[in-house]
Structure 1
């Protein structure tokens, strides 16, 4: 990043890096000193300030800067807004809740849930949905999607229970190689203590409940929220009647889906087909 570049010509991460550098210099700190204060290396700080760190600086670093600089939540809030800017505005309310949920109950009917997508699978999805966008825009969206996995690195990560209709596994996104990689990642995720995975097979017949995808978020304060999505956007529901109906639907779906061990077996079978 050229120091003479006008701010309006910088991308959000370059502006973030420039602001970090300006405050660091005003506080008379070296990159090495800031790195020590935030728990990162001098090289890490240098890449942040130049806007070249990929995929982007961590929230831990941003919060460390706020603490070292005495800037409250300035940089952590700035980084959060950058994240939000890479998602559709209607999705941001869900995203904020997903980061705080203690339990995520998801039913996916056509494509794998975003938080479980591989980079190649997400790229194929976005290239299809946003075929007129430039490659840099697509990559930004992919990076934002992959960063959703950071919730599993929290001290108290959520439990994700996902039911994937078999259509999610058989709909070829990006080709056989991409699908093989996606199924391999699902198998890895199923081994995690924080992920419970079931498959709703075609052989189950007519859906036991909803035919549309939905997600239920549960929180430690006993609050529960339902999220549904259509082609024109997403919607949050918190009325007791609506949420209870969704939970009843989810119980039915879990009862009719394959048990976790049989679900893994089916995914392995399909993986062999894609590899062949």
Structure 2
């Protein structure tokens, strides 16, 4: 990144990196010193300052810089706003809760939920949905979606339970190669102790519960929130009656879906089809 480049010509990560560098130099610190103080390598700091670290600097690094520089929550806040800038405003309330949830119960009907998507799968979705947007905007959305995986890096990660309608696995998003990569990733994450996957097969017949996708977030303080989404935005509900009805639906869906082992067997079978 050229230091003479006007700020308006820099992307958000480049501006973030330039700000880190300016404060570091003002504090008379080398990249090596900053890296050691924040728990990262000199090369990591260099990539941050050049705006080339992908998908983006970690929250731990931003908070570490604030501690070293004595800047309060300046850089942690900047990083958070960069993250939020690539999501629609109506999605931010859900995103903030997802980061704090202890359990995430998902029911997906046609597409794999965002937090379980591969980069290529997400890109294909955004390219189709935002076909008029510039490639840079699409990449920003893809990067923001990939960052949602960071919830699994917490000291106490949430338990994610996802029920995927078989349509999620058969809807050809992108190419056969993209779908093969997505199914391979599902098999990988299913091995995690923090992820449970079930498939609702076509053979289950008429739905026993909701036919629309939804997510239930549960928290350590006993709060439970229901999230639903339409083309024009998302809504959250916390009334006991509405949430209890959604949990009853989820129990029915789990009961009628394939067991986790049989679900993985089906995913492996479909994976072979995409690889042909």
Deviation digits for residues 142-183 of structure 1 (CA, Å, limit 9, x no counterpart): 111111111111110000000000000011111211111111
Q: How far, CA to CA, are the matches of 2:140 and 2:82 in structure 1? A: 11
For residue 164 of structure 1, give the secondary structure of its aligned residue in structure 2: strand
Superposed, 1:1-276 pairs within 5 Å as 1-276=1-276
| Alpha-carbon distance in 2 for matches of 1:47, 1:178 | 29
Kindly state the Cα deviation for residue 6 of structure 1 after the two structures are TM-superposed: 2.1
Residues in 1 aligned to 2:187 and 2:55: alpha-carbon distance in whole angstroms: 25
Show structure 1 runs of 5+ residues with no match.
none
Query: 2:149 and 2:43 mapped to 1: Cα distance?
Result: 25
Aligned length: 276
Residue 22 (structure 1) shift = 1.5
What's the secondary structure of 2:234's corresponding residue?
Answer: strand
Tell me the CA shift for residue 124 of structure 1. 0.6
Tell me the CA shift for residue 189 of structure 1: 1.1
TM-score by length of structure 2 reads: 0.98
4+ residue stretches of structure 1 with deviation over 3 A?
Answer: none
Give, in whole Å, the separation in 1 of the partners of 2:217 and 2:82: 24
- Over aligned residues, Cα RMSD in angstroms? 0.9
Once the two structures are TM-superposed, the CA of residue 18 in structure 1 deviates from its matched residue by: 1.3
Post-superposition shift, 1:78?
0.8
- Give the match's secondary structure for 1:105: strand
Query: 1:123, 1:40 → 2: CA distance?
Result: 30
1:273 to partner: Cα distance? 1.1
Following the alignment from structure 1 to structure 2, what is the Cα–Cα distance between the partners of residues 182 and 14? 30
Cα offsets for 1:187-208 (capped at 9, x unmatched): 1111110000000011111111
After alignment, is 233-242 or 102-111 more displaced?
233-242
Separation in structure 2 between the aligned mates of residue 44 and residue 193 of structure 1, nearest angstrom: 30
Structure 1 length-normalised TM: 0.98
Alpha-carbon separation, structure 1, partners of 2:238 and 2:58: 31
Distance 1:181 1:18 in 2: 35
Unaligned 5+ segments in structure 2 are none
Displacement of 1:9 in angstroms is: 2.2
Secondary structure of the residue that 1:112 maps to in structure 2?
coil
**Superposed CA offset, 1:228-268 (max 9, x none):** 00000111111111111111110110011111111111111
